Amino acid sequence: MADRNAEHRIDQALRSRPPGLWPFLAAGYPSIGATEVILRRMGSLSIRGVELGFPFSDPIADGPVIQNAFTHALAAGTRVADIFEMVRDVRDEVAYPIVAMVSVSIVYRMGVESFVERARSAGFDGLIVPDLALEEAPQLATCAAAAGLRLSMLIAPTTPPERQARIAKLAGGFLYYVSVQGTTGQRAALPVDLSDHVQQVRAETGLPVVVGFGISTPEHVREVCGYADGAIVGSAIVKRITDALQTGADEAQVVEQVARFVDMLCV
């Protein structure tokens, strides 16, 4: 059982080490067993934490790479209960924080209190709910905080300062800064004004800022970690899985290819 007096894993990852990589994985892709093995392999790499996506049939901001991974996972029968069980199985073997990226529809379908309690019991450290309306966020924020989970909330380049302040009051752990408008996916270059925006958000909210969307290379990660508190890479990692499968790799080979790529992204 977790020590309630110990520093929270997300806070520790953000404060005790230089900014670094937060890989995203689509739970159940290519299988729930492979995801479990990848999570274990991540424990030997210099990552800061893992964002674990719950497959959903109608993702809000995910590009085609992650959408296809979710479709594959759902078709294979991946269930919410399977994800909780998998995280519970690996929790004591890895020290990094695990954050659930989940649609609010899944949370509401299970019930806010029930979902939060099951996430806490499984060993998740935080939640990211990208389609959670700000006006509906207080209930989940309160419930998550009571369970010791951090609710990281999204801020976009177009978020007005007043709304940004309201988001920051509810958020825990870190703010997820969406680097570009649109859906997730690999991009050749990051916005030229990204550094200015991130530093402004950090100064105005007082919260750590982790940047996602469009980050896909070691150079991107190094650049972002020069001014933010971390970098999330999702589509580029998921695409490595897809590419490996298309060349006929088995799951053991997929795991190794993903681990090598993630290791290359670490700063």
Which of these is catalytic: 3, 11, 62, 135?
Answer: 62
Give 266's DSSP letter: -
HSE-CB of 228 using CA atoms within 13 angstroms: 30
Which of these is catalytic: 3, 7, 11, 51?
Answer: 51
Annotation marks residue 62 as catalytic: yes
Q: DSSP for 120-177?
A: HHHT--EEE-TT--GGGHHHHHHHHHHTT-EEE-EE-TT--HHHHHHHHHH--S-EEE
Q: Which two tokens stand for residue 5?
A: 């007096």
Annotation marks residue 51 as catalytic: yes
CA-to-CA distance for 54 and 84, rounded, in angstroms?
Answer: 10
Residues marked active site are found at: 51, 62
